[in-house]
Structure 1
């Protein structure tokens, strides 16, 4: 089976795949100081709890936007799975997607992997929104060419900055205001409204502007854990793909075999 690793700024997702089917997935906080041995102890226990073992992993593929974390993940694959890991964007696993930008090498691996998976699943022009540490809006045209996008602060990052900068504001959970009201009648309600509805408005506003700039119909595909939260009170998403990045890694691995 394939072990696909999506190493983001906040978390690393480990997914065990059979073909494109995800058999198990686990998440750990991203820490570039974490050694291969520490990953192995953690992962061995989770594999065992899911009915698998280290010997079930036949290949490893990694996408990362945290260069300092890559070395220890590569050592993990070589030392504990006895395989040379594939790294998205590095030979022999080239992205195989046209990037219509002045500096295509600067685009994050996760954004291109998302573009590959979204284009394969959804024909036509696309806007892919990924709710992570940052919230990214990526534009892929009908031919599969990556055209660029938008990077905005993630909602957790925005809330952290607000609480850190304002001494009297409390920490709150990120959730839709009760009853979907906008006008808060307490500090906490006002914060819920500002964070939630402010973010919904940003999403809807940016999508509208991006669509106007594209000049054609475009499907909006969302991924990331918070996509379903915003879908409750907005009709901006045409599809939600929770495992878009992992699916893209599975596609890249399949292509590497041909």
Structure 2
């Protein structure tokens, strides 16, 4: 079995693969203050409840946008799994050719998503990830990662709206029945939902223009916790892959073993 760990700013997602099949996945809150032993106890308990023997894990791969937690989880792998993890970064084979100004700047999770998307859907492909930030990652027809966009995430936007105003409440994220809200909560929900929907479709249209390709030959993949709520309404978001990053980690692990 392979353990894939994606450390994000808000959540840590773990997936256990048996061969190419994801047999279990878990989501933890990212906590900079938890120790190696605290994370290990939670992970081992979750694996036990899913009837997974941690001794059966033969390898681990990690992607992280939180540098301080790379050491924590690397130590966890050595101490509790007896395995030296592969940490996605410079020197690790990803199968993705990176054509941007400074390849070291791009987040590991974005390259992992690109690797999974290319493997599963080919190129050109756009990956829209609704995480702490909403990111767009672009792979051209030659399978080269050519860059993308980083926008404030939906939850960040809601929090900023709430903390930056005197009377606006923090609302749940959901699709309103109509665009024009008839009360404050519905008005905020509509602004967030339809605002992001229009932003996403508008950005994708501009990316398509820059790539100079036909939408019929382009795949647009959605991932991230909030991606599913936009799939039905969007003009371009038709495929939702909740485990895209975990799949990408498995693919990269195999390339490096």
Is TM > 0.5 for Structure 1 vs Structure 2?
yes
Q: What secondary structure does 2:192 align onto?
A: helix
- Does residue 213 (structure 1) correspond to residue 221 (structure 2)? The answer is no
Contact 2:128-2:220 at 8 Å conserved across structures: yes
CA distance in 1, matches of 2:227, 2:142: 26
Return the offset for 1:51: 0.5
Q: What secondary structure does 2:117 align onto?
A: helix
Return the offset for 1:232: 2.7
Contact 1:33-1:69 at 8 Å conserved across structures: no
- Does residue 192 (structure 1) correspond to residue 189 (structure 2)? The answer is yes
- Does residue 114 (structure 1) correspond to residue 113 (structure 2)? The answer is yes
Q: What secondary structure does 2:126 align onto?
A: strand
The 10-residue stretch of structure 1 (225-234 or 111-120) with the greater mean CA deviation from structure 2: 225-234
CA distance in 2, matches of 1:87, 1:8: 14
Question: Hey, what does 1:84 align to over in structure 2?
Answer: 84
Q: Deviations over 1:116-157 (max 9, x none)?
A: 110111123111101100000011012211000000000000
Question: Hey, what does 2:149 align to over in structure 1?
Answer: 150
Gaps of at least 5 residues in structure 1 are: none
Q: What secondary structure does 1:197 align onto?
A: helix
Return the offset for 1:79: 0.2
- Does residue 26 (structure 1) correspond to residue 21 (structure 2)? The answer is no
CA distance in 2, matches of 1:53, 1:45: 10
Question: Hey, what does 1:231 align to over in structure 2?
Answer: 231
Contact 1:130-1:222 at 8 Å conserved across structures: yes
Contact 1:155-1:195 at 8 Å conserved across structures: yes
Gaps of at least 5 residues in structure 2 are: none
- Does residue 2 (structure 1) correspond to residue 14 (structure 2)? The answer is no
Q: What secondary structure does 1:114 align onto?
A: helix
Q: Deviations over 1:176-214 (max 9, x none)?
A: 00x2x1111111111111011111011111111111111
CA distance in 2, matches of 1:138, 1:192: 26
Q: How do 1:68-107 and structure 2 match up within 5 A?
A: 68-91=68-91, 93-107=92-106
CA distance in 1, matches of 2:127, 2:146: 12
CA distance in 2, matches of 1:189, 1:238: 26
Q: Deviations over 1:19-45 (max 9, x none)?
A: 221111111111222111001111111
User: After the TM superposition, which parts of structure 1 deviate over 2 Å for at least 4 consecutive aligned residues?
Assistant: 93-96
Query: TM-score, structure 1 length as denominator?
Result: 0.95
Contact 1:128-1:137 at 8 Å conserved across structures: yes
Return the offset for 1:90: 4.4
Contact 1:11-1:29 at 8 Å conserved across structures: yes
Contact 1:4-1:250 at 8 Å conserved across structures: yes
Contact 1:89-1:95 at 8 Å conserved across structures: no
CA distance in 2, matches of 1:214, 1:41: 47
Question: Hey, what does 1:138 align to over in structure 2?
Answer: 137
CA distance in 2, matches of 1:159, 1:148: 27
Return the offset for 1:57: 1.3
Q: What secondary structure does 2:22 align onto?
A: strand
